[in-house]
Amino acid sequence: MHNRHVRELKVLYDSLFLDALQAFPTLQVEFERDLARLVRLVDARGIHAYCVDLPAVGKHFDKCLSLGQYRPSGLPLTKRYTNGVVIPKFLRGLYLLIFDELGHLKEDYNIEAIFFMRQICYMAKKVEISCSDEAVEQEVQQFFDTDASLPEPEGFWDTVAPTTSDITNVYKGFSFSMRYCEKLGALDPALSEVTSVFMTNMDIVSRLIMGTLGSYDPKRYSFRHGPGAIAEVTGPKNKYCWTNWSDRLEACYPIADYGFHSWSAWAGLVGEDDVFVDSQEPSSRLVAVPKTFTKPRLIAAEPSEHQWCQQNVWHYFCTRASQSWISEFVLFRDQTKNQALCRRASIDGKLATIDLSEASDRVTCHLVGQWARSNPSLLKALQSTRTRSVSQKLNSRVPESILLRKFSTMGSACTFPVESLLFLTIAIAAVLSKRKLEANIRNIISLRDEVAVFGDDIVIPTDSRLLFTQALEVLDFKVNDHKSFWTGGFRESCGLDAFRGVEVTPVYWKGPCGRDPESIVRTVEVSNNFYKKWLLNCSLYLASTIKNVYIPVVDIDSGVCGLSSFVTPALGSFRNRYNESLHRVEVLVPVVKTTQTKDPITDDSALLQYFTETPDPSTPWKGGVIMQRPRVRIRSGWVPIEEVVR
């Protein structure tokens, strides 16, 4: 498998250097030498050179851009040109269009050279390829080590039916947290005054956010299942048939009210073996999915009952946040706010982009308790839907099951909204404390053009960065310095990379094109991404790897599966017809369709599925258990000409 990836990448890099040569024709000799050096490294190190070595060079290059100074790193492909010149031999021609021989950023730097530097380094960074078993085991070990480093949850998180007094007795606010006060005492004494103010502001901002979100009532929000796997089985299962609705879940979400379409359906199954409330709580199941060549992404498949109720909490967060001032800072389904501020920050340098390491794995129960203490109904729901243990069979050297110390794992529907709003609280409290502003709604809203959060991607004013990062460490988080930028003209956030206002985001190659429809659709998409960046040789090569399927050339803004073109394609290149029923001209093009096989449900849980999915009455609907992953098919179909030729 790796050999084919290497062969494809060698040809793709040939095409990329041809595109670079068209942009910089005077560097032909340099590019020939660079390509020869890269081939030698690949021959020695294999795909590791593309997926690990080059991205490492790219990360170092980004840091040098932000510092305005190139510094030797000792990484592969970075050997100095001479002892008196810090610029590397590899890609020397491009480096010298950006830095001088001593490494200083030029005033007349070439922005296109910066783009090509990053494109060459990062093109294979996100190759969709399974990593080794050793890498999976190492990541699982890190998962367990990180969890063990966190404080144990308070007894509140083990209570079956906690009361409001249970919350107020345990969580009295950030200013009164012994854990945080002790960690604050270890900081620089010069910062003690501002950090104590920060903790007070954390309490105030938390109360304002909780008050804005309002009381949580499950009846007002939607229950549903997520698209991912569940913990109970690795194959098909009727997710609408409950097998372990725990006592803790029952205390907040009575199964008769929230687990059936009607009370009569619940009453008819009381005492049956296939549905019960049990004190034995289910565990989540750790799953490794591809992320990069060096390590996987670990996701915990949640128990179906927990997943069902977590989605209700997720709907609450989305609804309440979008209807309030919180949407000025956090948009759970939209990254454009972060991207716009990222681009602006690369121009004026007034904002920093912060990224965290293992963010979701470091959200502690203590932090969530202090943060949500003023909203008891929400905190009880977070406590009830939290899966307390996780099991795994990926690493035999660590326990098969542990009680989690972290609040939740990736896989829980509560993780993303909770961590986003937590980081928003910390960011706002840090800025208000640094600027000595009163913590009130008016001053908070005044920061809407300076603060934005999407998961662990955070934009914050540069003047408050130091306090913010120190506060994160006090609260048990870890800043990723390699992906955080606050100096110079380079910034990155939510998939946008910018240098002094110009986007320099590279195109990522995902893998070779096969015969399966998913691979073909992916290759078309990546080919179009190269085309939109004017990397025409790369785009043409990828298009040439698509075999046995006709993929038409379509307008650049078309939503149809096809190869994008800035030149409007001629209508005569398509088979067309006039649809007399719809009174429109249509063309025959490949249409991507997704199908799933369902096994019919024989009991009345199908009715709960119908009310949950709420299908369009005019569209055929079939309930049942999904028997396999969605299958992508490419079939010819008639579409309006406006969808192809704009």
Span 118-163, pLDDT tens digits: 999 999 999 988 888 899 999 999 999 999 999 999 999 999 999 9
Say yes or no to pLDDT of 523 above 90: yes
Q: Is this structure's pTM higher than 0.75?
A: yes
Q: What integer is the mean pLDDT of 344-351?
A: 96
Domain segments of the chain as ranges: 2-125, 134-498, 550-643
pLDDT of residue 233: 63
Say yes or no to pLDDT of 370 above 90: yes
pLDDT of residue 592: 86
Q: Please provide the distance, in angstroms rounded to a whole number, between the alpha carbons at the two ends of the chain.
A: 40
Span 390-403, pLDDT tens digits: 999 999 899 999 99
Span 223-257, pLDDT tens digits: 998 877 777 666 667 888 888 888 899 999 999 99
* CB 126, CB 510: distance < 8 Å: yes
pLDDT of residue 273: 53
| pLDDT band for position 521 (cuts 50, 70, 90) | very high
Q: What integer is the mean pLDDT of 614-627?
A: 80
pLDDT of residue 178: 85
| pLDDT band for position 188 (cuts 50, 70, 90) | low
Q: Can you spell out the DSSP letters for 433-484?
A: HHTT---SHHHHHTTTTT-EEETTEEEEEGGGHHHHHHHHHHTT--B-GGG-
| pLDDT band for position 331 (cuts 50, 70, 90) | very high
pLDDT of residue 193: 62
Say yes or no to pLDDT of 526 above 80: yes
- The separation between CA 29 and the C-alpha centre of its own chain, rounded to angstroms, equals 40
Residue 102's nearest CA partner among 114, 84, 81 is 84
Residue 632 in tokens: 């992508």
pLDDT of residue 599: 82
pLDDT of residue 276: 58
Distance CA 642, CA 633 (A): 23
- What does the mean pLDDT of the chain come to? 90
pLDDT of residue 360: 92
